[in-house]
Amino acid sequence: MRILVVEDDASLGKYILDGLKQAGHNPDLAQDGLEGLGLATQESYDVLIIDRMLPKLDGLAVIQALRTSKKSIPVLVLSSLAKVEEKVEGLRAGGDDYLTKPFSFDELLARVEALSRRNAHEAEKTRLSVGDLEMNLITREVVRAGENIELQNREFRLLEFLMRRPGEVVTRTMLLEGVWDFHFDPQTNLIDAQMSKLRNKVDKGFGKPLIHTIRGAGYKISA
């Protein structure tokens, strides 16, 4: 597996690279945000491991630039910033997982391999559809009734999670774990706010709503 590590701490970067090599992977190292963005844009990697606080361009800016350019590479954010709101910020920027420093290399490796497996599994399908709503997982285009719908990265992932389970009730816990990679409830209106934004784009102005609230249970998408 090709892995890009973006870490400005030389000793930590070497530690991660050596461990990944010993695990049989093929890692590259960039030591600032601009170099990392250049490599991630020009090369093909299976997973990106990136520090938040980097010289020249911070890690979250790198992730946002990749998502804007439609790069769907799974991203593991590394940071000593461990508050819930700081983790939320990292995930909202387009990160897929968040690991705080100091960390166990075994945990880092397990998270990287889990991201890779999930990405490979999700790549099995290239198109999803529910009623007149269609999603292209390769081009990341969403169309309803012939009209293009522009979605932010997190909105896209939320809609994709629902569309992979048409007609099924999706709970808050499922969304937190599957879309935000949270294994705890941050006790915020994060899901409700994101779902409201998604509904405004997917359902507003169309004849029949597709996203439904199941009171006391969660949400589902169905025609």
Task: Dump pLDDT digits (tens) for 116-168.
Answer: 877 655 555 678 899 999 999 878 899 999 899 999 999 999 999 999 888 88
Phi/psi at 97 (5° precision):
-155, 160
Q: Helix (H, G, I), strand (E, B), or coil: what is residue 152?
A: coil
If asked whether residues 210 and 170 sit together in one domain, one would say yes
Joined tokens for residue 211 = 């996203």
Would you list the DSSP string of 42-98? Answer: HS--SEEEEESS-SSS-HHHHHHHHHHTT----EEEEES--SHHHHHHHHHTT-SEE
Per-residue model confidence as pLDDT tens digits over 163-188? 988 888 888 888 888 888 777 676 77
Number of other CB atoms surrounding residue 178 within 10 Å: 18
143-167 in b/e form (b: 16+ CB < 10 A) is: ebeeeebebbbbbbbbbbbbbbbbe
Instruction: Kindly report whether the global pTM for this prediction surpasses the value 0.75.
Output: no
Q: How many domains, the chain?
A: 2
* 41 and 113 share one domain: yes
How far apart CA 99 and CA 28 sit, in angstroms, is: 19
Q: What is the pLDDT of residue 90?
A: 87
Residues 142 and 51 in one domain: no
Q: What one-character-per-residue DSSP string does 83-144 give?
A: SHHHHHHHHHTT-SEEEESS--HHHHHHHHHHHHHHHHHHTT--EEEETTEEEETTTTEEEE
Q: Which of 122, 145, 163 is the last residue of a domain?
A: 122
pLDDT value, residue 201: 95
CATH value at residue 46 = 3.40.50.2300
Residues 19 and 97 in one domain: yes
Q: Say whether both 11 and 98 belong to one domain.
A: yes
Q: What is the pLDDT of residue 149?
A: 95
> With 90 as the cut, is the pLDDT of residue 207 above it?
no
Q: What is the extent of the structural domain holding 186?
A: 127-221
Q: How far apart are CA 154 and CA 93, in angstroms?
A: 8
